[in-house]
Structure formats: structure tokens, C-alpha cells
Structure 1
């Protein structure tokens, strides 16, 4: 099973990296994991917390990114 890593960016600055990653079936599962992370992060705090400028980059263990 491939391992996927998630990096959180605010604009173009890396704010958090995932050194351990997640073993997931495929890229679609990694996308669902990223959406779940977004749901968890945006559920906490103020709706206007500045999440608009954030993104998640998904990297596969073979170095490919999405």
C-alpha cells in the first residue's frame, strides 16, 4: 500500500509537514484524507480564521506530488 504525505501551506509558505504520512490505497483515498483534515481544521474556531489562503499538497512516497 502506498504512503502519502501531507504538507499544509499558507500561500506559498509551508506551515506544517507530515513526516510519517499515511498508508492509503490510492490517490483518491489520499484526497479523501485531505478533505477530512480540512473538515477537522475548519471546524475549530472562527469561520473567519484565515483558512482561505491555505492549501494541502499531497506527496506520494515515490516523490510525485498532487
Structure 2
């Protein structure tokens, strides 16, 4: 999760819990920026942003 938010200036200094509760737009902004900057990957027939892939990786840990 830190890698996802490290490049979002508005997320600096905000706890992960606060971001998940109050700032979901930060993650969505990163997701959109991934597609603009072509940071995408293909998984079978899916095209995922780097952010989506990292979130899936994060969720798989639990």
C-alpha cells in the first residue's frame, strides 16, 4: 500500500486507516494516473493498472 500512495502528494503524512476511511479519492486518482501514464499490466484477459494489481496483491496477504 505504501508503494501505491508514495506518489500521491495529498497522501503524504496521512495514516493508512485515514486514507481508507476518508480519502478513497487518493487511490482512485492514482488508478486513473496509471492509465494515463500507461502503467498497466495484462492478467489473462484483464488490463489492470499498477495500482489495481498492487491492491490485489495487498488483499491476497489477508
Establish whether TM, by shorter chain, passes 0.5.
no
User: Which structure exhibits the higher relative contact order, with contacts defined as CA atoms closer than 8 Å and separated by 6 or more residues?
Assistant: 1
Answer 1 or 2: which has greater strand percent. Answer: 1
TM-score under structure 1 length normalisation: 0.35
Answer 1 or 2: which has greater helix percent. Answer: 2
TM-score under structure 2 length normalisation: 0.36
